[in-house]
Structure 1
């Protein structure tokens, strides 16, 4: 039975996915994830970690969902399945995926919807959909192309082969690779650092990246005037600017970790 648990550690939400034995992705798991993101937004958390219970992050989607379905039925299924993907990308705080073991197909698409990916050494990644005569249905090839370029994304999806964490880091898909026994601590420490930062600014950064991927840099320059300049009205920015002017650049940069951001 699939389960999604929500834990709050200070200003960080830790969301754990569980659907033994292979943590296959189901509609129920997606609903639980969507509910957890909404809960995190409602509670005003400042960063999130998405992890999985058991020996692997995800073996992909439960393929029984695909059996004897028509194209029209599949369209309705995946239209709903995109809701948690969009929720992760639109969350007004940084989201880190902490992946281990295997991260396959829908599981990889879920990780790609997160802002950052930390992988345990030895993790194996694959978009396996071509093996069942399909393509990536939850935006996998799209988001791979954003991270590693179109040619490499097509290679990953066409071949449906396995790639280790070090390779995915080299291809700019994974941000960091850490020893397996340090995965949770590494992801949580990074999330706590981000949570202590200017989350109002981080939320705008997410919006700017999404906008430029859809519309290009020149249109995003105009969009920036709408979404980024209001940061001048936040306590975060004014507090940091005043510290910079008071301390000088060198001292401020040396002590920047001491700046306390309020996120508004």
Structure 2
């Protein structure tokens, strides 16, 4: 709906979550609350894909320090991070592909949300930073550990310790950004990419997420141990059966999927 700082809309099989709190999309209580509610809504009735994006010149200028951190106590800080990390976990555990699109400056909370998504797309002009050191804080929505998972611990420490901004091509080289979309209409490209992924075999994508998550958390052999269960179950899905028939009748690449 118009006027909401966080909107959740649907475009066919794709859900689109948009941050729209001009001029800088700063994260305050309203934005944090809207984000939590939107992710809970997606989890309660999963679409086939999720795109997270933002309106305005920047993705986000970070957290509204005056509204959120001024006067914060240690007890309240622990509670806030526990609440937000719980939502990050829900986002990561969604049984569907999640894509974050960064068209411009993307700082702190927004960058941490991006790191919790499956894929991160960026415009060439996008810049990223976990700059919490400016207020004597460490990133606390999962950024350090997820950045280390993508780029390695030394790069994660460099980015956070320095408080510097890093451009999209650099972070693509570091395996933080998946793709830099170098075109005239980044938003249209990002939506088309996310829509194409969402139109794929949703149950197979969920199986891929489960296998990769198991490898990340417990290693290759642990991931091997769940393949039979999660991949074998796909033979009971309509999408696989229809795709096999399409492959045999029409050749590869002609199948369409319904997410069942």
**What is the TM-score when the length of structure 1 is the normalising length?**
0.90
Pick closer, same or farther for the CA change 1:158–1:210 going to 2, 3 Å.
Answer: same
Which residue matches 1:239? 242
What is the alpha-carbon distance in structure 1 between the residues aligned to residue 29 and residue 71 of structure 2? 17
In 2, distance between residues paired with 1:125 and 1:180? 19
- C-alpha distance after superposition, 1:204-252 (max 9, x if no partner): 21122222211111112113333332111111122223333445xxx42
Deviation for aligned residue 1:70: 2.6
Q: CA RMSD in A?
A: 1.9
Q: Which residue of 1 aligns with 2:104?
A: 101
Corresponding residue number in structure 2 for 1:261: 257
Task: Tell me which residue corresponds to 2:59.
Answer: 57
Q: For 2:44 and 2:130, how far apart are their aligned partners in 1?
A: 33
Of 154, 171, 176, the match for 1:173 = 176
Q: How much has 1:38 moved relative to structure 2?
A: 3.4
User: 2:24 maps to what in 1?
Assistant: 22
Q: Distance in 2 between matches of 1:173 and 1:13?
A: 23
1:85-234 to structure 2, matched below 5 A, reads 85-179=88-182, 181-234=184-237
Q: Count residues in correspondence.
A: 257
CA contact (8 A) 1:96 1:116 kept: yes
Offset at residue 24 of structure 1 (A): 1.3
Is 1:32 matched up with 2:28? Answer: no
Alpha-carbon displacement from aligned partner over 1:28-83 (angstroms, at most 9, x marks no partner):
22322232233334444211211111110011122232223232221111111123
Whole-angstrom CA distance in 2 between matches of 1:80 and 1:38: 12
Q: CA deviation at 1:176?
A: 1.4
| Residues 31 and 84 in structure 1, CA contact (< 8 A), matched pair in contact too | no
Q: Is the 8 A contact 1:37 1:87 kept in 2?
A: yes
2:59 match: secondary structure: coil
44 and 130 in structure 1: CA distance in 2 versus 1, 3 angstrom threshold: closer
Indicate conservation of the 8 Å contact 1:118/1:183, yes or no: no
Q: Distance in 2 between matches of 1:112 and 1:27?
A: 21
Q: Contact 1:100–1:180 at 8 Å: present in 2 too? A: no
Counterpart mapping for 1:35-46 below 5 A: 35-46=37-48
Contact 1:97/1:118 (CA < 8 Å) preserved in 2? yes
SS of residue in 2 equivalent to 1:228 = helix
User: C-alpha separation between the residues in 2 aligned to 1:69 and 1:215?
Assistant: 36
SS in 1 for 2:185: helix
Normalising by structure 2, we get a TM-score of 0.91
Aligned partners of 2:226 and 2:75: how far apart in 1? Answer: 36
Structure 2 unmatched runs, 5+: none
